Amino acid sequence: MGKKIKPLGVKRKRGKKFEWRGEISQSQQSSIKSKSIFRDQRLGQKNPSLDKEQKYLLRYQRERDFLSRRKQKFELDDTLELTHKGMKLSDLKDDYVEDYDLDLSDEDDFKSKKLPRMDDDLVNEMHFGDEKHRSKKNAYEELIQKSKQNKLIRQQEKEENLEITRKLDGDFMDITKRLKFKNKTQNAEADEYDNLLLEIREDAKVQAEYGMVNKSYKQAREAWEEAGENWAVPEDYKEFVVIIRENPISCIEKYKTWSECETKKTKLASQTRLLQFSLKFFIHSFDSESLDTHDELIEFIYNLSKEHANIAEGLFISSALELGNTLPLSLVYYYFLVSKLFTISFSDTLTSALSTLAGCIFTEYPLTTYKTIRNMLLLARVYTQHWLCGKYSPELIRGLIRVIEKFKGSVIIQEFNIDVLFNQENDNALFTFAYKMMHEQKTLFGKFLNFEGVLVDVEMEVSSQPEPMKMYEKPVEEIQTYEPLVFGKIRSNKKNRDTNKEVTELDKLREQAKKAKKMAKRVLEKETEGVMFEKNQEFKAGQEEKTVKQNLVKNMLDELQSEYKRFSTTMEKKKDRKKRKKRMGGGRTEQNS
């Protein structure tokens, strides 16, 4: 590319040149190169078949085409004139001030204009802060002074506006007195209350708080109205359920945005109806078992209840009276929502009704499926943390004991982390610990209903197990490490004791504690070994994946290098072939000549 290729037969032409130089003298050769030649390149000049008129006509046509092409390119023949605000640019005055006086006749010599000089003090004050160091204190003082000055200016403007409005009101009253209205009494003059109300209306903060609706709500409602949708809260609950069953969260949010654009009275009525219907739907008709959807709906109900706190308590009481003896997941969230919105005192109607319902669920609800057991444990967690503030009620302990009895000999125990939930190591230890705690905190549990009956039932069940009953007087640490084992007559291996002598209860307990510690150590060692084995397996799998990826990358690079080598070799071969052809072509032309 870009190289000049010599034509064929160069040697032959070079030989002819030498022959020509020999024939012509040296003086003639020098004169030929130095002479200038005039070539007439006018159109049609070398064509003998054309007349003068034809030549002139052709030249005129070519010149006209050239000019028309130029004018079309730069739009020189355009008759339109540029205007600014309806006036031609040529008629406008040029307000451009030149910095220099230029003389077009002599562009090299020009004189600069003497611009008016500003005062040095003014320049320093405007651009350099009056050449004074300003501290933070001075800056803040200046800001405070400016804000006070602006406040005074606004106050003066406000007073002027009030005076003008009063004058207008007085003039209007004078005009209305002269007019004759039919059966209409004149209004009384404005007093201090009216003037104060006028000032409050004109305040910008009050207008922003009460007079304006959010623009996003208006835009959304206008878009729905254009699409032909109506998201006003229905009067009937069945119609509400039919509409929101497929996508409840988005539909409820649309209802709320629609009601935000209404007047204050209708907004309050529609949003109370929306809160009542959403609570009823959440308790009775919400079938979802996923926690995320419950969280979103609970957040919406919580925010709406916070906005209307006076009405929310009555709605929650009415919904609590409609609760049945069922245990869905929504009931757990309902207890959590009540604990966040209201104070738990166990004396008002709402919390007392919900506490009795929770006691009935803990003591009597049948634990038949995995979901009911899960909901029971979640309700126990919420009830202890948010209602009882970390303490235990007798009904709650009864429910935990029922769950433990359900777990005995079952596979479901593997799906629950009971050690984390109850902070105990086995079922019997929790059983005895719960009963001991009930006896210790009998004064606190006395305010709950059916305390004595639950305590007697639990005591009867505990008394049927003789070995855990002997642990009540021991501290809690020993109860936690206690593991009940079936012992008969334990024989001593020591030589100084009789082989047929029975071991005392303290010795039994010590041996059981030692065995429990050994078992705990074995379990911990097995768990640590399992964890380490899993980590090693994961590390090995990760290393194998890395090696496989590295091998794939290496293979790809090797293939690319091999393809590049092939391509480079083919290109070099093509270049060599072209060179050979050129050489062979030059030789053939010489032979032919």
User: In the chain, what's the furthest Cα-to-Cα distance?
Assistant: 156
What integer pLDDT is reported at residue 493 of this predicted model? 42
The 10 Å CB-count burial string (b at 16+, else e) for 380-394 is bebbbebbbeeebbb
What integer pLDDT is reported at residue 204 of this predicted model? 46
Token pair belonging to 52: 């003068």
Cα distances (Å, whole numbers) of residue 269 to 232, 262, 311, 544: 11, 10, 11, 66
3-state secondary structure 261-303: CCCHHHHHHHHHHHHHHHHHHHHHHCCCCCHHHHHHHHHHHHH
Residue 221, Cβ density class (10 Å: 0-12 exposed, 13-18 middle, ≥19 buried)? buried
What integer pLDDT is reported at residue 329 of this predicted model? 74
pLDDT tens, per residue, the chain with 593 residues: 455 555 556 666 666 666 666 666 666 666 655 556 677 788 888 888 889 899 899 989 988 888 887 777 766 666 677 788 888 887 777 665 555 554 555 545 545 555 556 666 666 666 655 556 678 888 888 889 999 999 999 999 999 988 888 888 878 777 777 776 555 555 556 667 677 666 665 554 444 444 445 667 777 888 888 887 888 888 888 888 788 777 787 888 888 888 887 777 788 888 888 887 888 887 776 665 555 556 677 777 787 887 777 777 777 777 776 666 667 777 877 888 888 788 777 777 778 778 888 888 888 788 777 677 767 777 777 787 778 776 667 777 777 777 766 655 444 444 444 443 344 444 445 455 555 555 555 554 454 444 455 555 555 554 554 433 333 333 434 333 333 333 333 333 444 444 444 445 566 667 777 777 777 777 777 777 777 888 888 888 888 888 888 888 888 888 888 888 888 888 888 888 888 888 876 555 444 44
Q: How many CB atoms lie within 10 A of CB 116?
A: 4
492 and 501 Cβ atoms separated by less than 8 Å = yes
Strand partners, 123: none
Strand partners, 111: 101
Helix axes 291-307, 309-321, angle to 10 degrees: 130
Q: Where are the domains of the chain?
A: 209-322, 324-484
**Residue corresponding to tokens 């969260």:** 249
